[in-house]
Structure 1
Amino acid sequence: MPDLIPFADITHHFADFAHTAFRLETRRAYASDRTSPNRSKFERGERFTFNPDSPWHQQVRASTNEGKRFERVRLVDDPPTEGQRFLLATGVGNVAAGEDIRNMWRSDAERLNLPDEDFWLFDSRILVSFVIDEDDVTLGVHVTEDPAAVVRACQARDAAWHYAVTTAEFQTAVTSAM
């Protein structure tokens, strides 16, 4: 297993990839979302806006304007957890920036034997696997170009992408997310 490194050490991949950056999100919540400035508004049921000039949205726009793709599949419980509902609500800003975010029910992912850990896959050749603790805190990541590990991630990506639906379509099935 590759060494555990800080997530900050791999962020250059978001600018350096040539074609696709794919994320599989499997968690029921993420600690980082609990500190989002929009979280308290979400919890109170208030509408909130998105910052189109955030560094993430700027990066996504710049990359997609170059013809690169940011793709993401999120697994969602039925009923969705509060953390998943928050991601559905905030995902609208990411989609507006150019990400193609899709969602699928966790039960469907289990039937497909999708992995239950988060990862980023860059250009179908670099796999960044997250290590997340029981409090939903990212402890670091493992980076590998091992062909067998990358092929497994590509297979998971392809299966998830095939069965997942767009954020807009999924939100109609989960009215409590907005």
Structure 2
Amino acid sequence: MSLITGDEFSRLFRTFEHTAFRLEVRDRYDAPYENASLARFLAAEEDDLPWMRDWLYMIREATENGRRFSRVRVVSMPLTEYSRFGVWCAQFTNEAGEDIRYLQRERARAENLPDHDYWLFDSRLLISMHFDDADRFLGGELIEDPTTVVQHSYWRDAAWHHAIGRDEFAIG
């Protein structure tokens, strides 16, 4: 199996035509670029999220051009420290135009949603995301098999149907 990373992976976010959807199912991600912000969040210190600026710019630009980013985060309750950080960060991503919603893990299990992360671009290109045992992203497996893509599209729709918006989740 060959995994795409770096510029090849990043290109997918600039070249999709209509929709980019992410299902996140992990309670923790070890992303070196955000670890300093996570530490500041946990210490209740101010942070201007410098690592997120390019992502927010890209989302704004895509949204202005009629392209849509959306995401469902499957979370365990009570929230992990990392998940609390993610809810806080999502306010900025949502402002930029990405619609991030939350689904409790028990409900995801009841709906038989998968236990792996993926990106689905334009309902036709699937990237199954691979991580190591330390929660670090290794790369994405490109999958174009129609049956597999349709199954992941179904899971996207089921997750979206049962998830609630970030702001409602953050208050609840």
- The TM-score normalised by the length of structure 2 is 0.93
In 2 relative to 1, CA 29–158 (structure 1 residues): closer, same or farther, beyond 3 Å?
Answer: same
What is the number of residues matched between the two proteins? Answer: 172
- The answer to whether the 8 A contact 2:130-2:138 is kept is yes
* 1:112-151 alignment runs, 5 A limit: 112-151=111-150
Q: What is the CA deviation profile of residues 93-147 of structure 1, one whole-angstrom value per residue up to 9, with x for unaligned ones?
A: 1111110000010000000000010000000000001111121011111001110
Give me the whole-angstrom Cα distance separating, in 1, the residues matched to 2:28 and 2:134. 9
CA distance in structure 1 between the partners assigned to 2:49 and 2:137 by the alignment: 24
Deviation at 1:54, TM superposition (A): 1.3
TM-score (norm 1): 0.90
RMSD: 1.8
Residue 70 of structure 1 pairs with residue 69 of structure 2:
yes
Secondary structure of 1:31's counterpart equals: coil
Q: Which runs of 5+ in 1 are unaligned?
A: 174-178
In 2: Cα distance, 1:102 partner to 1:121 partner: 16
Deviation, structure 1 residue 8: 3.8
Percent of aligned pairs sharing the same letter? 40
Q: Distance in 2 between matches of 1:18 and 1:34?
A: 28
**SS of residue in 2 equivalent to 1:11:** helix
Deviations for 1:71-100, whole angstroms, at most 9, x for unmatched residues?
000011010111111111111111111100
Aligned counterparts of 2:87 and 2:155: Cα–Cα separation in 1:
21
Residues 33 and 52 (structure 1), Cα distance of their counterparts in 2 relative to 1, 3 Å cut: closer
Question: How far did residue 4 of structure 1 move?
Answer: 2.2
The letter of the residue matching 1:87 is G
Q: Identify if the C-alpha distance between structure 1 residues 52 and 133 changes in structure 2 by more than 3 Å, giving closer, same or farther.
A: closer
Distance across 1 between alignment mates of 2:139 and 2:52: 27
Aligned to 1:20: 19
SS of equivalent to 1:37: helix
SS in 2 for 1:62: helix
- Divergent runs of 4+, >6 A: none
Q: Which moved more, 1:153-162 or 1:26-35?
A: 26-35
Distance across 1 between alignment mates of 2:134 and 2:72: 22
Q: How does 1:1-178 map to 2 (within 5 A)?
A: 2-32=1-31, 35-50=34-49, 54-173=53-172
